[in-house]
């Protein structure tokens, strides 16, 4: 998630112009997509050193904050992404079972997020393989480009 343009230093000052939900979705989808096409950053390093990089991924927007160990949340929106395309699918579409490739990674990446709720926090996670995944809460904050996604403490890394 290092490629997300995510600032880990949270500035708790009010955001000058809070982005719309569509703007947050667009930023997150672009960041997830960038993870599929980049060979730099945390995920690029893992893929180069541990196996074949997934070429596709699925992104779920779920209702409300979640925890990887908690109950499954309703899927509000679903996308299939590649390094060059984003395709929205019906939220009831069945995602195929992930298959392990190169011992370390699945054949596709699985990303999930929730939009910020009344507390100002959203959640985000990724699952790349049987031993590679992470999740965190995030807040929206100011940035030179308008807004930034500020990660909070991870709630699970495995």
pLDDT at position 158 is 39
Please tell me which residue, 11 or 117, carries the higher pLDDT value. 117
Res 36 pLDDT > 90: no
Residue 46 has a CB neighbour count (10 Å cut-off) of: 16
Res 152 pLDDT > 80: no
Q: Which of 16-20, 112-116, 125-129, 133-137 has the lowest mean pLDDT?
A: 16-20
pLDDT at position 9 is 42
What's the rounded mean pLDDT across residues 116-138? 82
Res 53 pLDDT > 60: yes
pLDDT at position 135 is 81
- pTM for the model stands at 0.77
pLDDT at position 20 is 85
Res 139 pLDDT > 50: yes
When the pLDDT of each residue in the chain is averaged and rounded to a whole number, the result is 76
Res 52 pLDDT > 90: no
pLDDT class of 5 with cuts at 50, 70, 90: very low
């Amino acid at each position: 998630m290092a490629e997300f343009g995510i600032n880990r230093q949270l500035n708790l000052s009010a955001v000058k112009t809070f982005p719309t939900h569509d703007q947050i979705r667009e930023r997150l989808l672009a960041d997830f997509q960038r993870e599929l096409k980049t060979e730099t950053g945390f995920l690029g390093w893992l893929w180069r050193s541990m196996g074949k990089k997934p070429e596709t991924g699925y992104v779920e927007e779920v209702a409300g904050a979640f925890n990887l160990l908690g109950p499954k949340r309703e899927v509000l929106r679903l996308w299939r992404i590649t390094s060059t395309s984003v395709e929205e699918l019906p939220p009831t579409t069945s995602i195929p079972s992930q298959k392990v490739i190169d011992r370390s990674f699945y054949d596709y990446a699985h990303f999930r997020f929730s939009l910020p709720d009344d507390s100002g926090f959203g959640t985000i996670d990724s699952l790349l393989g049987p031993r590679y995944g992470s999740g965190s809460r995030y807040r929206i904050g100011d940035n030179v480009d308008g807004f930034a996604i500020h990660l909070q403490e991870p709630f699970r890394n495995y």
